[in-house]
Amino acid sequence: MGTPVYDMNKGITDWSELESIKLKKLQKQLRRVYDQSPFHKARFDAAGFRPEMMKSLSDLKHLPFMDKNQERESQAESQAAGITALGDHIVCDPRDVVRISSTSGTTGMPTFTGYTQADSEVTAEIMRRAMPMMGAERGDVVMHAFVMSMWIAGLPVADIMQMAGFTVVPIGGMSGPGRFAITAQSVFPKQLNCTPSYATWMANKLREDFNIDPASFGIKRILLGGEPGGSIPEVREKISGLWGGAEIYDGIGAMHSSFFASFTCRHNTGLHWLADDYVHLEILDPATGASLPLEDGVTGEGVYTALEKECAPAIRFRSGDRFVIKRGRCACGRDTIRYSIEGRVDDMLLVRGVNVFPAAIQAVIGRFADRGVGSNIRIVLTSKPPVQEPPLPVKVELAAELSAEATAALAAELSDAVSKELRFRCQVSLLPKGTLDAFQADKNQKQQIFEREYDQ
Ligand SMILES: [Zn+2]
């Protein structure tokens, strides 16, 4: 494991050597998927592409994209034929698959992902790279408080943490605050893994129902994942405050490539892409479908190609996430590609020709946190997205109690700030604290951003 071009403290040490390592891996990977998967062979043939045409990384542009719908169809076919859950884009020997996990299925039928032992090793290596970035060491006790199901953040990530060298306490996401408190008081945890909404909910519950200050557990850092929020400064600050000043980190994966691919460091300068020698990242211009250069400020959809994944590798797999790229050496000393995810490509709304992303609205509203404005918002859709008529209604929850007069004035100020900064008309209404349910008790604890008020 490991590679000569990645240094644990400096990141990528030789970018041109990295290119040639990636090209060699990619040539091998494309040959393998072409020879072994009817799904990929048909796609390559239709595009007039043969593996031997892969002479430089930019030749990847000749290959078609893959997305969730194709994956779903491929799996439906192989399931109907009684062969495998994993689709005919599977490449390895099915007997080498040691784990099958599933997506949450919030956007349709769940899809299944298989991993071989070597696939898990790749993620564990990336986790090891993240450990010094978070000040973590071998043997640090981690309370893993994601729902312990086959959801990737659950059991699969708990296993990866263990392989990377942590001492894992799989408390899960369904234990109540009483059980959580007894465990935390007994195991001397250094780290907590959970979703942002769970971290907030649990801290409040411990205080309100048990009169326990979560700071008393001595948790030094919280690794957030599973939903957006871990990179938003206001969310991080709030959670850190609730947990006695714990450092907050965000970690995310790359679909069908690695459970984890990127983490923030303590400087919170964006997610550090730690998977460069295992996953090829492209940024896709949503308008033209062209692959954009990975330069500072470039924005588009993240697309993954897994260079080593054995089971069912991503080959130009569209993430649906909107990336904003950052370049340059970080204050932590690492030279890696950095990025932030600013919403889903599908979440984009069009208001009188202006592209509107929910994350951008959240960012503007977040700046009013010290004025008693909460971070919980709902965008009300009055017609089928993406096209919406202005003014766009946005409900925002208050974090403090304000007079009716002060509330009206603040709502007008917020509407004005969003409208001016994002260049579309927006109508903010402020609601009392607790009106919008922060902790959506669905199985994956995901926050809702849209409220649909049209006939579907
Ligand atoms: Zn850094």
Would the pLDDT of 56 be above 90?
Answer: yes
- Express as a percent the part of the chain with pLDDT over 90: 65
Other C-beta atoms closer than 10 Å to the C-beta of 22 total: 20
Distance CA 295, CA 325 (A): 7
Distance CA 128, CA 50 (A): 36
Alpha carbon of 226 to ligand 1 centroid (Å): 21
Would the pLDDT of 413 be above 80?
Answer: yes
Alpha carbon of 340 to ligand 1 centroid (Å): 13
Alpha carbon of 196 to ligand 1 centroid (Å): 21
**CB of 238 closer than 8 Å to CB of 89:** no
The set of residues, in sequence order, having a beta carbon less than 8 Å from that of 204 and lying 6+ positions away, is: 242
Alpha carbon of 442 to ligand 1 centroid (Å): 33
Distance CA 355, CA 89 (A): 35
Alpha carbon of 9 to ligand 1 centroid (Å): 10
Identify the bridge partners of residue 299 per DSSP, sorted by sequence position. 324
What's the pLDDT tens digit per position in 87-137? 888 899 999 999 998 876 555 677 888 999 999 999 999 999 999 999 999
Alpha carbon of 265 to ligand 1 centroid (Å): 5
pLDDT of residue 108: 60
Closest by Cα among 310, 244, 354 to 32: 310
**CB of 432 closer than 8 Å to CB of 374:** no
pTM above 0.85, yes or no: no
pLDDT of residue 105: 54
Q: At what angle do helices 155-164 and 117-133 cross, to 10 degrees?
A: 70
Identify the bridge partners of residue 292 per DSSP, sorted by sequence position. 283
pLDDT of residue 2: 56
Alpha carbon of 133 to ligand 1 centroid (Å): 7
Alpha carbon of 221 to ligand 1 centroid (Å): 16
Alpha carbon of 329 to ligand 1 centroid (Å): 8
Alpha carbon of 268 to ligand 1 centroid (Å): 7
Alpha carbon of 144 to ligand 1 centroid (Å): 24
Alpha carbon of 142 to ligand 1 centroid (Å): 22
Closest by Cα among 207, 204, 198, 267 to 229: 198
Radius of gyration of the chain (CA): 23
**CB of 321 closer than 8 Å to CB of 358:** no
Give residue 446's pLDDT band: very low, low, confident or very high (50, 70, 90): very low
Residue in the block written with tokens 């059980």: 179
Would the pLDDT of 177 be above 60?
Answer: yes
Percentage helix, strand, coil, to 5, in the chain?
A: 35, 25, 40
Alpha carbon of 273 to ligand 1 centroid (Å): 10
Q: What does the mean pLDDT of the chain come to?
A: 90
pLDDT of residue 106: 52
Alpha carbon of 338 to ligand 1 centroid (Å): 9
The answer to whether the Cα torsion of 416, 419, 422, 423 is positive or negative is negative
In one-letter notation, the amino acid at residue 222 is I
Give residue 441's pLDDT band: very low, low, confident or very high (50, 70, 90): very low
Would the pLDDT of 293 be above 50?
Answer: yes
pLDDT of residue 124: 95
User: What tokens does 23 get?
Assistant: 């090209």
Distance CA 11, CA 33 (A): 30
What's the pLDDT tens digit per position in 249-291? 999 998 888 889 999 999 999 999 999 999 999 999 877 889 9
> For the residues 319-336, what does the mean pLDDT come to?
94
Other C-beta atoms closer than 10 Å to the C-beta of 390 total: 14
Name the 3-class secondary structure at 416. helix
Alpha carbon of 250 to ligand 1 centroid (Å): 12
Give residue 71's pLDDT band: very low, low, confident or very high (50, 70, 90): confident
Would the pLDDT of 445 be above 70?
Answer: no
Give residue 438's pLDDT band: very low, low, confident or very high (50, 70, 90): low
> For the residues 161-180, what does the mean pLDDT come to?
95
Would the pLDDT of 194 be above 70?
Answer: yes
Residue in the block written with tokens 């072409």: 34
CA–chain centroid gap for 158, Å, is 17
> For the residues 233-245, what does the mean pLDDT come to?
91
Concatenated DSSP letters of 5-28 = TEETTTEES-HHHHHHHHHHHHHH
Strand 450-452: give its sheet, edge to edge: 426-431, 392-398, 373-381, 450-452
> For the residues 181-199, what does the mean pLDDT come to?
95
Alpha carbon of 266 to ligand 1 centroid (Å): 7
> For the residues 78-84, what does the mean pLDDT come to?
86
Strand intervals (E) in 21-133: 97-102, 112-116
Distance CA 299, CA 17 (A): 26
Name the 3-class secondary structure at 40. helix
Closest by Cα among 417, 427, 334 to 378: 427
What's the pLDDT tens digit per position in 377-411? 999 999 988 889 999 999 999 999 999 999 999 99
Alpha carbon of 168 to ligand 1 centroid (Å): 25
Alpha carbon of 331 to ligand 1 centroid (Å): 6
In one-letter notation, the amino acid at residue 100 is I
Distance CA 145, CA 192 (A): 7
Would the pLDDT of 440 be above 50?
Answer: no
Distance CA 136, CA 127 (A): 10
Would the pLDDT of 27 be above 60?
Answer: yes
Distance CA 394, CA 408 (A): 14
Other C-beta atoms closer than 10 Å to the C-beta of 69 total: 12
